[in-house]
Structure 1
Amino acid sequence: MNRGEQTVTRAEAFEFLDRTARGIAEMFGSSCETLVHDMGDPKHPILSIYNGHVSGRSVGSTMDILGTAKELDNTGLTTDFVNLYATTPSGQQIKSSTFHMIQEGKDGYNLALGINFDYTSLVYANRILVDLMNAEADLQSVMWQGSDRRLSDMLDECLSAVGKPVDALSKKDRLKIIALLDQKNAFSFRKSVPFVSKRLQVSRYTIYKYLGELAENGGTIPAADSDEPAPDRT
């Protein structure tokens, strides 16, 4: 690494990478292992390491994050690797990156900063959150007796608001009815879509399509949907 006529010595390069490794480890905490490798040696021994408990390694170790001591090829010895997945021998899930600092020539060197973040605990936490947020069914659809009756009443109210019989509804009318039902949380009831589709004399696909169109427009009826002479029964 040349800077005009100036050259960064191996000692200076190591000092910089070591400071960087220490700072990153302090910043991201005990789940983040950082280290400096001597990549000029095919066995790439560790020159310094912080939070080595993540992989169980220490200074002088030639083991990699995968728990092997294989010699790397020329590509592996000189190429940066960013945000790659790895699993340690003990089963920890790791995000790993390696950044090289290379100086060619007689007094050249090849040092590398390694960063290994153990996110195993986050995986477990995510599973717990998913379990906590999981629910079997909507409360009101389970608690209220005669949900079909309640849905029917809601639909009758929406039809009255439109003021047309079902066989005279245009697409815009049906979109308005679906929007009103959605505002009343009617689609949180079990089997609400087949119930509404049967009453409006359209397919279930059409109901889902209308709900999608409303969602894309923030719950409002798209302006381009003008009245149609015949209902959509697809």
Structure 2
Amino acid sequence: MTKKEAFDFLDRMARGIAVMFGEQCETIVHEMDGQKVKNLAIYNGHVSGRTTGSTLSIYGRDTMMDEEDPKVNLDLDYVNQMVITSSGKTMKSSTFHFQGEDYHFALGINYDISVMSQMSRIMDGLLRTDATLQTSLFGTGNSMEEVFESCSEMVKRPFSQMQKADRLTLVSILKEKGFFQMQRSVPYAAERLGVTNIRFIIT
């Protein structure tokens, strides 16, 4: 593949990816010269603020001027890396190298996830809870038996003397206290109450 063919191929790919993934996705074709970089083609350049012909890295450093920039291993592709730009944007970034006899190009894909990161933090705040209601009502270490006994005491009548109305009252208390959110609580309550069709009562 000639240098022109390689560039045309990468340019078409960069354009297609940018169109497919929208305005938050920047794609760029670099020409590499050692540690120096020239941007030959760029799409959605507003993401990083770079333009065609620019020699800036994604961090905003001029690769032609900054001799103290740390050396980059150009034998490796860098895939799905997080980048925080000098302007504070958060991006997912990938770079793929493409080399021939007389050329060394790299295809860069940078997706601005700043808004999504903010939304994620908002969603985390909305979904966060301090504790389960069951834990708050009965305490962290209470077993199913302890919760059942606690509710039974509110009926103020031993099981041997409970009438149907008393059992219905107890079931209502258990529902109110969240007892039936516990695993295997239905068969446990049925056994303790001496009934077989407790499900129609609690539903």
- TM-score, length-scaled by structure 1: 0.55
**Could you say if the C-alpha distance between residues 138 and 74 of structure 1 is closer, same or farther in structure 2, counting changes exceeding 3 Å?**
closer
Q: Structure 1, residues 124-179: CA drift from partner, whole Å, max 9, x if none?
A: 111111111123444577689xxx9x974514799xxxxxxxxxxxxxxxxxxxxx
Secondary structure at the aligned position of 2:91 is classed as: strand
Alignment partner of 1:126 out of 112, 120, 126: 120
Give 2:28's aligned amino acid.
L
2:61 is matched with: 68
Shift of 1:123: 1.0
Listed one character per residue, the Cα deviations across residues 75-113 of structure 1 (whole Å, up to 9, x for unaligned) are 534432112221111111111111111112xxx101110
Match of residue 40 from structure 2: 47
1:40–1:111 CA contact under 8 A, matched in 2: no
Q: Distance in 2 between matches of 1:153 and 1:16?
A: 69
CA distance in 1, matches of 2:71, 2:112: 27
1:11 counterpart SS class? helix
Unaligned runs of 5+ in 2: 153-177, 185-203
- Paired residue total: 151
Tell me the residue number matched to 2:96: 99
Cα distance change of structure 1 residues 25 and 184 upon mapping to structure 2, 3 Å threshold: same
Partner Cα distance (2:85, 2:72) in 1: 22
1:13 to 6, 11, 16: 6
Q: Matched residues in 2 for 1:64 and 1:94: separation?
A: 14
Letter in 2 for 1:58: T
How far apart, in 2, do the equivalents of 1:156 and 1:138 lie?
18
Structure 1 regions of 5+ residues with no counterpart?
A: 1-7, 159-181, 187-210, 215-234
CA distance in 1, matches of 2:9, 2:109: 15
Instruction: Map 1:26-175; keep pairs closer than 5 Å.
Output: 26-40=19-33, 42-70=35-63, 76-104=73-101, 108-139=102-133, 152=146, 154-155=148-149
* Alpha-carbon distance in 2 for matches of 1:26, 1:142: 51
Q: Distance in 1 between matches of 2:85 and 2:122?
A: 23
Note the C-alpha offset of 1:184. Answer: 2.1
TM-score scaled by length of structure 2: 0.63
Alpha carbons of structure 1 residues 151 and 129: separation in structure 2 relative to 1, 3 Å: farther
Of residues 175, 180, 183, the one that matches 1:184 is 180
CA contact (8 A) 2:35 2:72 kept: no
The residue type equivalent to 1:94 in the other structure is: M
